[in-house]
Structure 1
Amino acid sequence: MAMIVRNSYTKTDIKTKIDFIFLKGLSLAIPLIISSVFFTGSAAAQTPSPTTVLFENVKVFDGKSSKLSAPTNVLVRGNKIESISATPIPVNKRADTLIINGEGRTLMPGLIDAHFHMMMTATPLQVALNGEPGYLNLIAAREAKKTLLRGFTSVRDLAGPVFSIKRAIDESLIEGPRIWPSGAMISQTSGHADYRSLNELPRTANSHLHHSEVTGGAAIADGADEVLRRTREQLMLGASQIKLAAGGGVSSNYDPLDVAQYTEAEFRAAVDAAENWGTYVTVHAYTPRAIQTAINAGVKVIDHAQLIDEATAKLAAKKGVWLSLQPFLDDEDANPQPEGSANRAKQLQVTQGTDTAFALAKKYNIKVAWGTDSLFDAKLTARQGAQLAKMIRWYTPAEVLMMATSGNAELLALSGPRNPYPGKLGVIEPGALADLLLVDGDPLADINLVADPEKNFLVIMKDGKIAKQIMR
């Protein structure tokens, strides 16, 4: 069945933009030359991008309902959804108007990944830690476009110097999703974001910062005063939320998984600073002690939580804390760790707790966000949609898609006035921002459609602009 497009203004619009990306903590500016194809589809003469798009004859998954609508028409004007109607919507057939007949296909909100690392997701660990920043920015720029073309129109970035990439996307120098940046992950000495080697110890007043700190991937802070300063620095740089490491991690070498990191007073320093800016703190944490300490200090979101126990789940539910969970299993999507290593043992321990974490979240009706946390491997990142589809191990397809649209949008809104994109996301309703996917099929009946976006996402729209359009 062919998708009919009338007054279609598809084009191959190749633009070369030169943007001087000023690297945080460095005095030099690296010219970043980026060539981006801003439209996918059949080539045509260059024409203005449509400012009005009408989707006719589509079945709508609105991000909140467990069923598709009857055949519907959806009008987008500018960057917002203007109207939705079961009856025809008249439009002026002008040069700036695009009419797409979906022929009964599914129109749904753009997907949201609540745990992403744009600067590290496609780069091997040692390159990410030691690579030249200009090169890493180029990799991230390429990955940003790929992320958008997988149907992910928004991501919450939870560690990495992503501010320049975000700015380039927002200024239309490159293509990519909306980004809610945390900036550097704040970590105690020997914490999850302490990437130093043993021969770089001890740190003294005259010690140089580690490369990961200079480039903005990590910030080592001990004591409430240092945590407060590092938190304020990230807010100054433009963080929409603050990320702290509250416990051991899989990929870090010097923090055992069972070790809780930071005291309640240290967490409170970050929470107070973030709340003063109208936003919140999220923490990397697996174990009950780490999670409980963070919650008692006022942290609003726990990322991971795979080793949570019943008492801690009850506390999270009582305090209204979110769990940002990932489908960590010992499968093809596991971040690679050397067999027989300590990090591999930690990884197995985490994956063995995943089923329990989801079960407790459901039992106590805890708000759950979904994210991937893919790191250091472009092949794993390419399976972003497949990692969403595997959530049917714990939820229905409708629940999975609601989580990755309206649910994750609710989490993003916790940034309050630090939200870089004011407006309603994750839903299809009048007045909402126009981040939309036209899917060749019914993802509520076949969730695996999202696992192959290249084939099944016929139209990808972000902020009212079409990033992809397949003609069939």
Structure 2
Amino acid sequence: MKVSTKVLSTTALAVAMALASPLTLAEDTTSYLIKNARVFDGQSDKLSKPQSVLVEGNIITKISASIKAPEGTEVIDAAGKTLSPGFIAAHEHLVGQMSFGEIFSKDTRYKAYVATQTAEQYLMNGFTSVRDVGGNTFSLKDAIDAGYIKGPRVYPSGPMISQTSGHSDHRFQSDGNAMKGGTWDTMEREGDMLILDGVPEVLKGTREVLRQGASQIKIAVGGGTGSYADPLDTVQYTPAEIKAATDAVGDWNTYVTAHVYNSDGIRRAVDNGVKCIEHANLIDEETLRYMMDKDVWLSPQVIVYTYIPRGYTEDQANKHRQAFDGIDNLFRTAKKIGYDKIAFGTDIITDPQMIRDMNQEFVHRTQWFTPAEVMKQATYNTAQLLQMSGPRNPYPGKLGVIEEGALADILLIDGNPLEDVEVLTNPTDNLKLIMKDGEIFKNTL
């Protein structure tokens, strides 16, 4: 099979946005003093006493009870509000927040324009960094970084990679048999998915995605709810194929994360060098302990399983319900064994309304974790996962914490989310300030 290298035309979007109405970027002010804030530093289970935080350029340079503002510094009185690191989400899809019908019928420019709205929504919900784990977001990331559109830092995985009949294979029966010249589906043609079989193809395809700028690679080693032909119990990719991906990525000094629900697929992935597992809803305790012993990250989600994505068939909906039924056991087992390498994410797909409500993920997780634990997952924990990209990290620096020397991704929250995480579900009113990389994108104080 010839590897597709076609890139989704978000580049065209960036050019169009630049010519039509480039954003007014942050004002010339390069230093801010935020005073009288109670600080959640990303790790503590209690807020600090009132503190002042000095931001110079894109770095937090000083934290103290009292700081004299340097000349020219803009002073922001937080009036006892909560100052938090910007939120980080580890399993997101910035491209494709529309019905399955639109995904398969609209052109790349339409999808790119929609993606700009999705990216801005993430930022306005307080997410200053996201790891995109399945989609052609390379040009979208570039446009955000260049300042043409608003959005979070993007850690792109590029297309999710799977075998024929795996989670990246979204062909309908009418698309024909690939062995007899059938047409590969729209999402592969546009660079959102990549179907590879055999060690040579996996090696070449993985290297191609790294060439495009992936900060990490995602493969599928088990069935999915959004794909048509793969039940959740299936194990996908042979050990040699998985090892080919992890070897190629290891040579690039980053890591592979794997989509999989079942224990057999998880063990095969971990045994062959995968460093992070996405979902794991149907895992057993023995396998979760095995993951913990091997120092592997867990990247689970809740909110995506609380609704049936638009356009799902009944078979897909049944798989989705099966995945939802496993979440309680997953998190109860994680708490029981002390598994704490847990990232935050939503995996919301095909639903712009759910994107607006993404902060409900904080509330859903309090069925198993304290608000402070959830806040840590959404800041410090997920930042540590992002750091695994090593030299492929597109944003070198310390994220997910409020401390001197960290990158200035900062939120001011009206309320105390360590006591009442519900305040985060109304970001319009309760996120008073949103700063990313030292630039203020919202300030309603």
TM over 0.5: yes
| SS of equivalent to 1:305 | strand
Q: Which residue of 2 aligns with 1:412?
A: 386
After TM superposition, give the deviation of residue 427 of structure 1 in Å. 0.2
2:28 corresponds to which of 49, 63, 68: 49
Which stretch has the larger CA shift, 122-131 or 318-327? 122-131
> Structure 1 residue 288 and structure 2 residue 271: aligned?
no
Tell me the equivalent position of 2:16: 32
Are 1:438 and 2:412 an aligned pair? yes
Specify whether residues 461 and 212 from structure 1 end up closer, same or farther in structure 2 by C-alpha distance, changes over 3 A only: same
Q: Where does residue 255 of structure 1 map in the other structure?
A: 230
Contact persistence 2:161–2:220 (CA under 8 A): yes
Deviation digits for residues 364-418 of structure 1, max 9, x if unmatched? 3331111100000001111111112221111001110011000000010111111
Rounded to whole Å, the distance in 1 between the matches of 2:106 and 2:305 is 29
Q: Confirm or deny that 1:214 pairs with 2:214.
A: no
Query: How far apart, CA to CA, are the structure 1 residues paired with 2:305 and 2:143?
Result: 36
Question: How far apart are 1:180 and its partner, in Å?
Answer: 0.4
Match of 1:451 among 413, 421, 425: 425
Say whether the 8 Å CA contact 1:193–1:218 is kept in structure 2: yes
TM superposition shift of 1:207: 6.2
**Of 55, 78, 92, which residue of structure 2 is paired with 1:102?**
78
Q: Does structure 1 conserve the Cα–Cα contact (< 8 Å) formed by 2:136 and 2:192?
A: yes
Q: In the alignment, which residue of structure 2 is the partner of 1:87?
A: 66
Look up the match of 2:203. Answer: 228
Provide structure 1 residue ranges, at least 5 long, that are not aligned to the other structure.
1-21, 40-46
Aligned match of 1:271: 246
SS of alignment partner, residue 115 of structure 1: strand
1:116 counterpart (92, 98, 102): 92
Counterparts of residues 49-448 of structure 1 (less than 5 Å): 49-92=28-71, 94=72, 97-120=73-96, 122-204=97-179, 209-328=184-303, 331=306, 333-336=307-310, 341-366=314-339, 367-448=341-422
1:330, distance to aligned residue in structure 2 (A): 5.6
Amino acid at match of 2:412: L
SS of the counterpart of 1:32?
Answer: helix
Amino acid at match of 1:35: S
Counterpart CA distance in 1 for 2:200 and 2:355 is 37
1:184-234 residue CA offsets vs partner (Å, 9 max, x unmatched)? 010111111101222333325966653322211111001111111111111
Contact 1:329–1:352 (8 Å) recurs in 2 = no
Assess, with a 3 A threshold, how the Cα gap between structure 1 residues 145 and 263 changes in structure 2: closer, same or farther. same
Unaligned runs of 5+ in 2: none
The range that moved more, 162-171 or 126-135, is 126-135
Alignment CA distance shift 1:72-1:54 (3 Å): same
Give yes or no for contact 1:158–1:182 (8 Å, CA) kept in 2. yes
For residues 407 and 352 of structure 1, what CA distance do their matches in structure 2 show? 25
Q: What code does the residue aligned with 1:272 have? A: D
TM-superposed deviation, 1:124: 1.3
3-state SS of 2:343 partner: strand
Q: Distance in 2 between matches of 1:101 and 1:355?
A: 42
The amino acid across from 2:36 in the alignment is N
Q: Which SS does the other structure have where 1:176 is aligned? A: coil
Deviation at 1:91, TM superposition (A): 1.7
CA positional deviation for 1:445: 1.3
Measure the CA separation in 1 of the matches of 2:95 and 2:303: 21
Deviates more, 1:211-220 or 1:412-421: 211-220
| TM-aligned CA distance change 1:25 to 1:458, over 3 Å | closer
State the SS of the aligned residue for 1:466.
strand
Larger proportion of helix:
2
Relative to 1, partners in 2 of residues 1:374 and 1:178: Cα closer, same or farther, differing over 3 Å?
A: same
CA deviation after TM superposition for structure 1 residue 303, in Å:
0.2
Give the TM-score taking structure 1 as reference length.
0.88
For 2:317, the aligned partner's letter is R
Q: Is the contact made by 1:285 and 1:302 (CA closer than 8 Å) also made in structure 2?
A: yes
User: Aligned partners of 1:421, 1:432: CA distance in 2, in Å?
Assistant: 12
Q: TM-score by structure 2 length?
A: 0.94
User: After TM superposition, where is structure 1 displaced by more than 6 Å over at least 4 residues in a row?
Assistant: none
Counterpart code for 1:194: D
| Residues 204 and 435 of structure 1: CA distance in aligned 2, closer, same or farther (over 3 Å) | same
Aligned partner of 1:18 in structure 2 is none
**Alpha-carbon offset, residue 164 of structure 1:** 0.5
Deviation, structure 1 residue 89: 2.6
- Structure 1 residue 238: Cα displacement: 0.4
Distance in 1 (CA, whole Å) between partners of 2:175 and 2:393 is 38
Contact 2:303 2:360 in 1 (8 A): no
Deviation of 1:90 (Å): 3.1
Residue pair 1:386, 1:452 contacting (<8 A) in 2 also: no
The amino acid that maps onto 2:101 is Q
- SS of match in other structure, 1:358: helix
1:390 aligned partner, one-letter code: H
How far apart, CA to CA, are the structure 1 residues paired with 2:98 and 2:263?
A: 31
Distance 1:38 1:62, change over 3 A: farther
